[in-house]
Structure 1
Amino acid sequence: MLKLNILIGLVFILSSVKGLQIEHEISNSIASESGSKISKIVEGYPFEEYEVTTPDEYILKVIRISGSPNSPPSYGKTVVFLQHGLLSSSADWLVLGRNKALAYLLADQGYDVWLGNARGNTLSRKHQYLSPNRRDFWDFSWHQIGQIDLPAMIDFVLLNTGQKNLHYIGHSQGTTAFFVMASLRTEMNAKIKTMQAFAPVAFMSNLASPFLRIVAPFADSIDTVMSMLGVYEFLPSNEMLVKGGQLICKDESPIQEVCANVLFLIGGFNSPQLNRTIIPAILENTPAGSSVDQLVHYAQGINSGKFRMFDFGLTKNLFKYGSIFPPDYKLSSVTAPVFLHYSNNDWLAALKDVNELKGKLGNVRGEYFVPDMKFNHLDFIFATDADILVYNRAIDVIANNL
Structure 2
Amino acid sequence: MSVLSSLLNIFALIIQLPLLLFHKLGIEQYLSTFHPIFNKPDNISTSSSFSFYSNSNPSSTSVINDETDPLEKLQQKIITAIDIVDIVHAHGYKVHEHIVQTKDGYLLSIHRILPPSGDIPQSSKIVYMHHGLLTNSELFLLGENTNRCLPFLLVNLGYDVWLGNNRGNKYSRKHLILSSTDEKFWDYSLDEFAMFDIPNTIDYILQITKQQNLTYIGFSQGSAQCLAALSLNHDLNEKINLFIGLSPAMIPHGLNNPICSFLVSSAPALMYRIFGKRAILPSVVFWQKLMGPKFYQEVVDKSLVFLFNWKSGNIHPSQKKVGYPHMFSPSSVKSVVHWFQIIDSKRFQMFDEGGASGSKLVYLSGASTKTNRVASFPTQTITTPCYLIYGESDMLIDIEKTVQNLSCDVETLGLKGYEHMDTLWSTNVEEAVFNKIINKLKQIDTKTA
TM-score exceeds 0.5: yes
Does the alignment pair 1:29 with 2:31?
Answer: yes
Specify whether residues 112 and 257 from structure 1 end up closer, same or farther in structure 2 by C-alpha distance, changes over 3 A only: same
Going from structure 1 to structure 2, the CA distance change for 1:89 and 1:6 (only over 3 Å counts) comes to farther
- 1:14–1:392 Cα change, 3 Å: farther
How many aligned residue pairs are there?
385
Question: Match for 1:170 among 194, 207, 218?
Answer: 218
* Paired position in structure 1 for 2:348: 307
- 8 A contact 1:139–1:293 mirrored in 2: yes
SS where residue 366 of structure 1 aligns? strand
**Which residue of 1 is the match for residue 16 of structure 2?**
15
Deviations 1:41-69 (A, max 9, x none): 00121210011110111000100013356
User: Is 1:355 aligned with 2:395?
Assistant: no
User: Residues 104-115 of structure 1 correspond to what in structure 2 (within 5 A)?
Assistant: 104-115=152-163
Aligned to 1:103: 151
What SS does the corresponding residue of 1:193 show, helix, strand or coil? strand
Task: Tell me whether 1:83 sits opposite 2:130 in the alignment.
Answer: yes
Equivalent of 2:330 in 289, 295, 304 = 289
Identity across matched positions, percent: 28
Aligned to 1:388: 431
Q: 1:379 is matched with which residue?
A: 422
For residue 217 of structure 2, give the secondary structure of its aligned residue in structure 1.
Answer: strand
Q: Deviation string for 1:228-259 (max 9, x for gaps)?
A: x85421112554134246x232xxx7x85444
Give distance in 2, aligned partners of 1:275 and 1:125: 33
Residue of structure 1 equivalent to 2:104 = 56
Note closer, same or farther for the CA distance 1:325–1:171 as it changes in structure 2 (3 Å cut): same
Q: Which amino acid counterpart does residue 84 of structure 2 have in structure 1?
A: I
How is 1:201-240 mapped onto 2 (pairs within 5 angstroms)? 201-204=249-252, 206-210=253-257, 212-226=260-274, 230-240=276-286
Stretches of structure 1 lacking an aligned partner (at least 5 in a row) = none
> Which whole-Å deviations, capped at 9, do the CAs of 1:119-158 have from their partners, x for residues lacking one?
0101111111211110110010011011100011101111
Q: How far apart in 1 are the matches of 2:431 and 2:237?
A: 29
Contact map agreement 2:304 2:311 (CA 8 A) in 1: no
- Cα 1:305–1:13 shift into 2, 3 Å: farther
CA contact (8 A) 2:19 2:283 kept: no
C-alpha distance 137-271 of structure 1, shift in aligned 2 (>3 A): closer
Q: Residue 42 of structure 1: SS of its match in structure 2?
A: helix
Could you state the TM-score of these two structures normalised by the residue count of structure 2? 0.78
Check whether the contact 2:190–2:351 (CA below 8 A) recurs between aligned residues.
no
2:389 partner letter: H
> Under a length normalisation based on structure 1, what TM-score does the superposition of the two structures give?
0.86
Q: CA deviation at 1:368?
A: 0.5
| Aligned match of 1:197 | 245
CA separation of 1:2/1:147 partners in 2, compared to 1, >3 Å: closer, same or farther?
Answer: farther
The residue matched to 1:106 in structure 2 has which SS? helix
Change (3 A) 1:329 1:155: same
Corresponding residue SS for 1:222: helix
Q: 1:343 aligned to 2:344?
A: no
Amino acid at match of 1:74: P
Deviations 1:287-344 (A, max 9, x none): 20010110000101111111111111123489xxx96221111111111111111112
Q: 1:156 to 1:272 in 2, by over 3 A?
A: same
SS at match of 1:401: helix
| Paired AA for residue 346 in structure 2 | G
Greater relative contact order structure (CA < 8 Å, 6+ sep): 1
Q: Take 1:190 and 1:199, find their aligned partners in 2: how far apart are those partners?
A: 24
Partner SS for 2:86: helix
In 2, the alpha carbon distance for the partners of 1:11 and 1:311 equals 23
Match of 1:328, SS state, is coil
Contact 1:67 1:111 in 2 (8 A): no
SS in 2 for 1:273: coil
Q: What does residue 180 of structure 1 align with?
A: 228
Q: Could you tell me which residue of structure 1 aligns to residue 66 of structure 2?
A: none
Shift of 1:26: 5.1
Contact preservation (8 Å) 1:147, 1:177: no
Give the partner amino acid of 2:114.
Answer: S
- CA deviation map 1:64-109 (0-9, x unaligned): 013356x964313400000000000000000114110111121122
The CA distance in 1 between the partners of 2:339 and 2:135, in whole Å, is 16
What code does the residue aligned with 1:347 have? M
- How many angstroms apart in 1 are the aligned matches of 2:203 and 2:246? 22
Matches within 5 A, 1:114-125: 114-125=162-173
Change over 3 Å in CA distance of 1:107–1:68 after alignment to 2: farther
Asked if structure 2 preserves the Cα contact closer than 8 Å seen for 1:338 and 1:365, the reply is yes
Structure index of larger Rg:
2
